Amino acid sequence: MASHYEAPIREPLVTGEKSYHDVTVDVAAPVEGRANKQWWIVFSIALVAFLWGLGCIIYTISTGIGVWGLNKTIGWAWDITNFVWWVGIGHAGTLISAVLLLFRQKWRMAVNRSAEAMTIFSVVQAGLFPIIHMGRPWLAYWVLPIPNQFGSLWVNFNSPLLWDVFAISTYLSVSLVFWWTGLLPDFAMLRDRAVKPFQKKIYSLLSFGWSGRAKDWQRFEEVSLVLAGLATPLVLSVHTIVSFDFATSVIPGWHSTIYPPYFVAGAIFSGFAMVLTLLIIMRKVSNLEAYITRVHIEYMNKVILLTGGIVSVAYITEFFIAWYSGSNYEDYTYLSIGAATGPYWWAFWALIICNFVVPQTLWIKKLRRNYMWSFICSIIINIGMWFERFDIIVINLSKGHLPSSWSMFSPTFVDVGIFLGTIGFFFVLFLLYARTFPVIAQAEVKTILKSSGERYKRLRDSGNS
Partner 1 sequence: MYTFSNRLKIASIVLMIVGILGIGYGFISSPSTVEEAKAMVAADAHGHGGGHGEGHHEEVGTHHEPKVTHHAEAEEGHHGEVAHGQDAATHSSHDEHTLSKLQNRPWAAVLIAAFFFFMIALGALVFYAIQHVAQVGWSPLLFRVMEAISAYLFPGAVILYVFFVLTSAFHMNHLYIWMDPEVMAHDGILQLKKGYLNIPFFLIRSAIFLAGWVLYRHFAVKNSYAQDEANDNTYYRKNFKISVFFLLFFFVTESIMAWDWFMGLEPHWYSTLFAWYVFASMFVSAVTVIAMVTMYLKSKGLLEYVNDSHLHDLAKFMFGLSVFWTYLWFGQFMLIWYANIPEEAGYFLTRIEHYNLVFFGMLLFNFVFPFLVLMNSDFKRVNWFVMMAGISILIGHYMDIFQIVMPSTVGELWSFGVPEIGSILFFLGLFIFVVFSALAKTPSFVAKRNPFLEESKHFHY
What residues numbered 129-168 form the site for partner 1, per CB under 8 A?
none
Nearest by Cα to 261 from 280, 282, 242: 242
Site string for partner 1, 93-112 (x = CB under 8 A): ---------x----------
Given the complex with partner 1, which of 286 and 307 has the nearer CB atom?
A: 307
259 part of the interface to partner 1, by CB under 8 A: yes
Q: How far apart are CA 118 and CA 113, in angstroms?
A: 9
233 part of the interface to partner 1, by CB under 8 A: yes
Q: How far apart are CA 415 and CA 79, in angstroms?
A: 7
Min CB(160)–partner 1 separation in Å:
9
DSSP string, 112-163: HHHHHHHHHHHHHHHHHHHHHTSSSGGGGGGGS----TTTS----TT-HHHH
Assess contact for 120 and 87: CB atoms under 8 A. Answer: no
Min CB(428)–partner 1 separation in Å:
36
7 part of the interface to partner 1, by CB under 8 A: yes
Given the complex with partner 1, which of 321 and 379 has the nearer CB atom?
A: 321
Site string for partner 1, 53-92 (x = CB under 8 A): ----------------------------------------
Q: How many helices (H) and strands (E) does the chain have?
A: 18, 0
Residue from 55, 137, 145, 261 touching partner 1 (CB under 8 A): that is 261
Q: How far apart are CA 294 and CA 284, in angstroms?
A: 12
CA angle (271 as vertex; 267, 274 as ends), nearest 5: 150
Site string for partner 1, 238-257 (x = CB under 8 A): --x---x--xxxx----xxx
Given the complex with partner 1, which of 1 and 139 has the nearer CB atom?
A: 1
Q: How far apart are CA 273 and CA 268, in angstroms?
A: 8
φ and ψ at residue 14, rounded to 5 degrees: -125, 120
Residue from 26, 116, 318, 391 touching partner 1 (CB under 8 A): that is 318
Cα 153–chain centre separation = 36
Min CB(158)–partner 1 separation in Å:
8
Q: How far apart are the first and last CA of the chain?
A: 6
Q: How far apart are CA 206 and CA 191, in angstroms?
A: 9
Given the complex with partner 1, which of 87 and 434 has the nearer CB atom?
A: 87
6 part of the interface to partner 1, by CB under 8 A: yes
Given the complex with partner 1, which of 179 and 246 has the nearer CB atom?
A: 246
Residue from 325, 361, 405, 436 touching partner 1 (CB under 8 A): that is 325
Min CB(310)–partner 1 separation in Å:
8
Min CB(9)–partner 1 separation in Å:
5
326 part of the interface to partner 1, by CB under 8 A: yes
What residues numbered 10-39 form the site for partner 1, per CB under 8 A?
10
Residue from 14, 234, 236, 358 touching partner 1 (CB under 8 A): that is 236
CA angle (109 as vertex; 116, 268 as ends), nearest 5: 45
Q: How far apart are CA 263 and CA 236, in angstroms?
A: 9
Cα 149–chain centre separation = 40
Given the complex with partner 1, which of 180 and 356 has the nearer CB atom?
A: 356
258 part of the interface to partner 1, by CB under 8 A: yes
Q: How far apart are CA 253 and CA 65, in angstroms?
A: 26
Rg (CA), the chain: 24
Min CB(325)–partner 1 separation in Å:
5
Assess contact for 409 and 398: CB atoms under 8 A. Answer: yes
Given the complex with partner 1, which of 44 and 328 has the nearer CB atom?
A: 328
Using the rule CB under 8 A, give the single segment among 52-60, 110-118, 272-280, 313-321 that binds partner 1: 313-321
Using the rule CB under 8 A, give the single segment among 72-80, 210-218, 305-313, 411-419 that binds partner 1: 305-313
User: 69 in the Ramachandran plot: left (φ > 0), alpha (ψ -120 to 50) or beta?
Assistant: alpha
Min CB(14)–partner 1 separation in Å:
18
Q: Return residues touching partner 1 (CB under 8 A).
A: 5-10, 102, 233, 236-237, 240, 244, 247-250, 255-261, 309-310, 313-314, 316-318, 320-321, 324-327
